[in-house]
A = this chain, B = another copy of it.
Amino acid sequence: MAGASWRSTSIGLDIEVQCLGDGNGNVVHLYDRDCSVQRRHQKVIETAPATGLSRETRENIFRDACHLLALNKYRNAGTVEFLVDKNGQHYFMEVNPRVQVEHTVTEEITGIDIVQSQILIASGKTLAEIGLTQELILEPNSYAMQCRVTTENPAHDFRPDTGTIDVFRMPAGFGIRLDDGPGFPGAKITPHYDSLLVKITAKARNRKDAAAKLTRALREFRVRGVQTNKSFLLNVLSNSDFLDGEVDTGFIAANPTLLSPLKEKDRAQKLLHYIGEVVLNGTPKSLGATGEAPSTVDPMIPKIVQEHKEKKQSLKQIFDMHGAEAFAKAVRANEGLLITDTTWRDAHQSLLATRLRTIDMLKIAEPTRVALRNAYSLECWGGATFDVSMRFLHECPWDRLNDLREAVPDVPFQMLLRGANAVGYTSYADNVVYQFCKLAKESGMDVFRVFDSLNYIENMKLGIDAVGQAGGIVEAAVCYTGDVSNPKRGCYDLEYYLQFVRELEKQGIHVLAIKDMAGLLKPKAATLLIGAIREEFPNLPVHVHTHDTAGLAVSSMLAAAAGADVVDAALDAMSGTTSQPSLGALVASTQNTDLDTGLDLHDVLKLNEYWEECRGLYAPFESGQKTGSADVYLHEMPGGQYTNLLYQSSQLGLTGQWSQVKQAYSSANRLLGDIIKVTPSSKVTGDLAQFIVSNKLTENDVIEKAEQLSFPSSVIEYFQGYLGIPPFGFPEPLRSRVLKGRTIKGTDGLSCFSGRPGAQLPSFDFEGTRANLEDKWGTEKISKYDVMSYAMYPTVFDEFMERQNEYGKLSYLDTRTFLTGMKVGEELNVSLEKGKHLILKLISVGETSKDGIANIQFEVNGQPRSVHVKDKRAGVKDTQRLKALEGVTGSIGAAMPGVVLETKVKKGDTVKMGDPLILLSAMKMETLITSPCDGVVKQVVVTAGDTLDGGDLCVEIDEAL
């Protein structure tokens, strides 16, 4: 034979010939094996016989192998290894005296037990005596393929994993042979085991069948508790080149994609992980569930059947087939009062902190579809539900819309759109708003109620335009405040509203909405206002929305019904106080009148029974407020804000001064120019009110000392025009004093927006965002809807996605489990998407180990599963902090409790009066602390991230005298 041996970088076929020698010159071969599929010279899959060789090449290899061993009177089993290059040239590599692990493929195709044979040979027998002469060893007519399942983790560069094997199930069946490593349930895989779990050999008539068998065996092979290289093996076995047999030793290195893991599908495990969290650590703090425990009654789902078929087209069909104008005409022509049911949105936003979960709507979707088929719309989206569903409920708002649309296909859906900021709290670039409305319409949204928190027409134009282009029904809202029936109230009189409606009408709206968000519309005012509007716009459908804050909502709606076409209502169990008027009351009181709503009271009441019980599930989110109160006419706070402010004030330690807070709210309103108060403008008023109370300021002080006061950032942004321009302009001289020496972030030093803030924002780059979202969360997880969610709430979306990866989709979980987890021994039936049921049972909650991990045992469909959960029930450490000295202008304290965001100065700086020192964030608003005098900074005692109490020392300045 020619030449020396070169190995290890050259590519080719790695062929082995299995031989047996009895030590006195007799040698037989058991044909060949192909070991070309390698990763870093580690054999991955071996096959026998070698098919990629010509018949002639094989003959030469067998002859050389046997000749070589016979020469040395070889005793025992031996393997002769060759490298065959592309054109069939074979090169001798080495002889290997041990029985190789891959000898099993040879055994399978020849039917000869090699280990047994060499025991017989070792005991002195010859080949003939044991019936192993060459002609007795028939040409194999079948094919064998083998692979090793190890704990090497392809996702982490094949590092062997460790852990306790939870589940270990082995495949079986014809032509499958297993040779095992140490794997069995309960076995501890520790680093010094070699990483082999089991060897699987498949035998079939040919390569493809063998590969198919091996694949099937691998799928059935179930291991839990340690990672395995299974996904990698399956990639190789399903690779087309491999199946055709054209592979050589460079195969794997040439196809790196083989290394990336399959989409592993185990959602049950994630769900268990969430339930384990809740079982161990209780209701997640982040949910903000402060009230009582959820009730233990499962709401019963009523059966509501529709007696006779409907002849006339439903409003939804009119809209779908004839568009928005036809919809508006049909509404205007309808005699009787039309109803919008807000139970799915505004009702739970006002009463249950927007926490209603999709699953509780879907459960009642079918009966609702029947009972409210004659409703004008179901308000089910937008408002705070968009961010709350992601932030607190870990639900995708778009999925909610799709699921509801699918469940209730033929009643119009309605959403609340905040003019220029869609469903967000701040302004966005225009193309965001357009894109948002387009996507909402595509997902099945029909009616868009567009409003602006200051009735700022420019913001309205944008919203209206965005909805129009998306093809939705434009329901433009005018926000109602004040009291038109009170001539002495000033500002918001009849003329103001008619003027605003005229401008809206020019924009080509389809429906006009009157949004009385604080429940200030009295019956008399309703008659005046709507009478006046109806008179001037006889064909414009009018839709009235109110809250029952003072207990007058039903009366005002009945009064409004004289001229209005539609009113908002909520089912009785979700109505009243800060929510909408009771639907039952409206239906009952208009029965047998020409205002009949066309809804059947019995059906409505059946729906209601469900909500009576369903509301119990959300007891943790009840505000505790039992009745409405007429003092809303004095402070004019919109629904949710009342409870919110009450709650924040007690947090800020201002409980005893609740009535001052209310007065401060009125004067804050005056200071801001007597504005309309709804989210987000009401937030500005609330922030200013608290600022006034905690700094013991009077209205005059605020105006006098405006240049020195460090206002909440929402107040500053307001005066900078972030929300647009208030109806009666910004009051002077307060505004210019507040803006003195301040500029808008992200613009080149302009002190305030003239006109619409969004107009000057750069347009949002969807493609770019999508690209880097995809490589952050993986491609098939990011749709255009996700990009939109990110556009709206970047941080919230990120957290949401993390939750998704951690817990999977939680929206299948019933609410009680979602909130309080399971009890030991409790069995739960969870239905994943269509038809797949999981039966979960909580078996035991293990003790928390020293490193704070607790092991929780479940049974999923009868099979035990365990999850490891971090125990978060430990305490907080704290240090005592210096207080600012009263009466020393140089020692500056924090005006209110908060967190330090930034320190703007350091020791030794010289500062002038009004220079910014510290940026503070208190209760979701940012405060700038500026210097009250000239001097040199003596020391800064806080760093970013510190939590401060009111009056804590921040900066000391040596006053320049």
**How distant is A120 from chain B, measured CB to nearest CB, in Å?**
78
Cβ contact within 8 Å between A630 and B609? no
Identify which of B485, B550, B582, B591 contacts A585 (C-beta below 8 A).
B550
Proximity string of chain A (627-645) to chain B, C-beta cutoff 8 Å, 1 when within and 0 when not: 1111101100000000000
Query: Residue A338 at the B interface, CB < 8 A?
Result: no
Q: A573-B629, A589-B555, A659-B609 are in contact. Are A584 and B634 (CB under 8 A)?
A: no
Chain A: interface size category: 35 or more
Contact yes or no, B629 A612, CB < 8 A: yes
B581 touches A551 (CB 8 A): yes
Q: Would A572 and B628 be within 8 Å (CB), given that A555-B589, A634-B605 are in contact?
A: yes
**Interface presence of A236 (CB below 8 A):** no
Whether A906 sits at the interface, judged by CB under 8 Å, is: no
A592-B550 in contact (CB<8A)? no
4 A-B pairs with least C-beta separation: A584-B630, A551-B582, A551-B585, A555-B555
Other-chain contact of A552, B573, B585, B609 (Cβ < 8 Å) = B585
Contact bitstring A573-592, B, C-beta under 8 A = 1, else 0: 11111000111110111011
Q: Inside 8 A of A659's CB, which chain B residues have their CB?
A: 609
Per a CB cutoff under 8 Å, which of B587, B615, B629 touches A608?
B629
Contacts of A609 in B (CB 8 A): 631, 659
**Interface membership of A626, Cβ < 8 A:** yes
Assess whether A627 is in contact with B589, with CB atoms less than 8 Å apart: no
Contact B628 A582 (CB under 8 A): yes
In Å, the complex CA distance between A601 and B522 comes to 14
* Residues from chain B with Cβ under 8 Å of A605 in the complex: 629-631, 634
Partner pick for A554 among B554, B575, B583, B588, CB 8 A cutoff: B554
Question: Closest Cβ of chain B: how far from A287's Cβ, in Å?
Answer: 21
In the assembled complex, which residues on chain B have CB atoms less than 8 Å from the CB atom of A485? 591-593
Q: How far is the CB of A301 from chain B (nearest CB, A)?
A: 13
A411 to chain B, nearest CB (A): 21
Q: Are B633 and A588 in contact (CB under 8 A)?
A: yes
A486 adjacent to chain B (CB < 8 Å): yes
CB neighbours of A583 from chain B (8 A): 630
- Interface residues as binary, A595-609 with B (CB distance below 8 Å gives 1, 0 otherwise): 000000110110011
The answer to whether the Cβ of A524 comes within 8 Å of any Cβ in the partner chain is yes
Checking B552, B604, B612 against A630 with a beta-carbon cut-off of 8 angstroms, the contacting residue is: B604
When C-beta atoms are compared, the residue in chain B nearest to A634 turns out to be B605
Residues in chain B near residue A540, CB distance under 8 A: none
Among the listed B558, B574, B581, B627, which residue makes an inter-chain contact with A582, where contact means beta carbons less than 8 Å apart?
Answer: B627
Instruction: Assess whether A523 is interfacial by the CB under 8 Å rule.
Output: yes
Q: Given A486-B591, A522-B588, A555-B589, are A582 and B612 neighbors across the interface (CB < 8 Å)?
A: no
Residues of A whose CB lies within 8 Å of any CB of B are 485-487, 522-524, 550-552, 554-555, 558, 572-577, 581-585, 587-589, 591-593, 601-602, 604-605, 608-609, 612, 615, 622, 626-631, 633-634, 659
- Among candidates B577, B582, B622, residue contacting A550 with C-beta atoms closer than 8 Å: B582
Contact between A576 and B589, CB atoms less than 8 A apart: no
Q: Whole-angstrom distance from the CB of A610 to the nearest CB of chain B? A: 12
Which of B487, B523, B577, B587 contacts A558, CB < 8 Å? Answer: B523
Number of this chain's copies in the complex:
2
In the complex, the answer to whether B630 meets A588 with C-beta atoms within 8 Å is yes
Bound-state CA distance A800–B654 (Å) is 44
User: Which of A605, A622, A627, A633 lies at the interface centre, i.e. has the most chain B CB atoms within 10 A of its CB?
Assistant: A627
Determine if A551 and B592 form an interchain contact, defined as CB atoms under 8 angstroms apart: no
Minimal Cβ-Cβ distance residue in B for A611: B627
Q: Inside 8 A of A577's CB, which chain B residues have their CB?
A: 576
For A585, give the chain B residue with the smallest CB separation.
B551
Name the B residues within 8 Å of A486 (CB-CB): 591-592
Residue pair B558, A589 in contact (C-beta under 8 Å): no
- Knowing A524-B593, A592-B486, A602-B634, the reply to whether A629 touches B584 (Cβ < 8 A) is yes
* Candidate in A485, A522, A552, A609 with the most chain B CB atoms within 10 angstroms: A552
Check A589/B631 contact, CB under 8 A, given A554-B552, A554-B555, A609-B659.
Answer: no
- CB-CB under 8 A from A550, the residues of chain B are 572, 582, 584-585, 588
Smallest Cβ-Cβ distance to A655: which chain B residue: B297
Q: How far is the CB of A553 from chain B (nearest CB, A)?
A: 9
Return chain B residues, CB-CB under 8 Å to A552. Answer: 554, 585, 588-589
Nearest neighbor of A579 in chain B, beta-carbon distance:
B627
Cβ of A592: which chain B residues have Cβ within 8 Å of it?
Answer: 485-487, 524
**B628 x A585 contact (CB < 8 A):** yes
With A593-B524, A628-B582, A629-B605 known as contacts, the answer to whether A575 contacts B551 (CB < 8 A) is: yes
**Complex contact B608–A573 (CB within 8 A):** no
User: Distance in Å from the Cβ of A89 to the closest Cβ of chain B?
Assistant: 85
Q: Specify which of B554, B593, B604, B615 is in contact with A551 (CB 8 Å cutoff).
A: B554
Most chain B beta carbons < 10 A, residue from A486, A574, A629, A659: A629
Q: Which one of B593, B602, B630, B634 lies within 8 Å of A572 (CB-CB)?
A: B630
In the bound complex, residues from chain B placing their C-beta under 8 Å from that of A629 are: 572-573, 582, 584, 605, 608, 612
Whether B572 pairs with A551 at a CB distance below 8 angstroms is: yes
A485 closest partner in B (C-beta): B592
A523 CB to closest chain B CB (Å) equals: 5
Q: Which residues of B contact A622 (CB under 8 A)?
A: 626
- B554, A589: Cβ atoms closer than 8 Å: no
User: Which residues of B lie under 8 Å from residue A581 when comparing CB positions?
Assistant: 551
Establish whether residues B584 and A631, one from each chain, have CB atoms under 8 Å apart when the complex forms. yes
Q: Which residue of B lies closest to A351 (CB)?
A: B626
Residue picked from A551, A583, A605, most chain B C-beta under 10 Å: A551
Residues of chain B lying within 8 A (CB to CB) of residue A601: 630, 633-634
Min C-beta distance of A158 to chain B, whole Å: 59
Complex alpha-carbon distance, A552 and B558, angstroms? 10
* Contact of A573 with B627 at beta-carbon distance under 8 Å, contacts A550-B588, A554-B555, A585-B552 already known: yes
Q: How far apart are the CA atoms of A907 and B574 in the complex, in Å?
A: 59
Could you list some 16 contacts between A and B, CB below 8 A? Answer: A522-B591, A523-B589, A551-B572, A551-B581, A551-B582, A572-B628, A572-B630, A574-B627, A576-B577, A582-B628, A584-B630, A605-B634, A608-B629, A612-B629, A615-B626, A626-B626
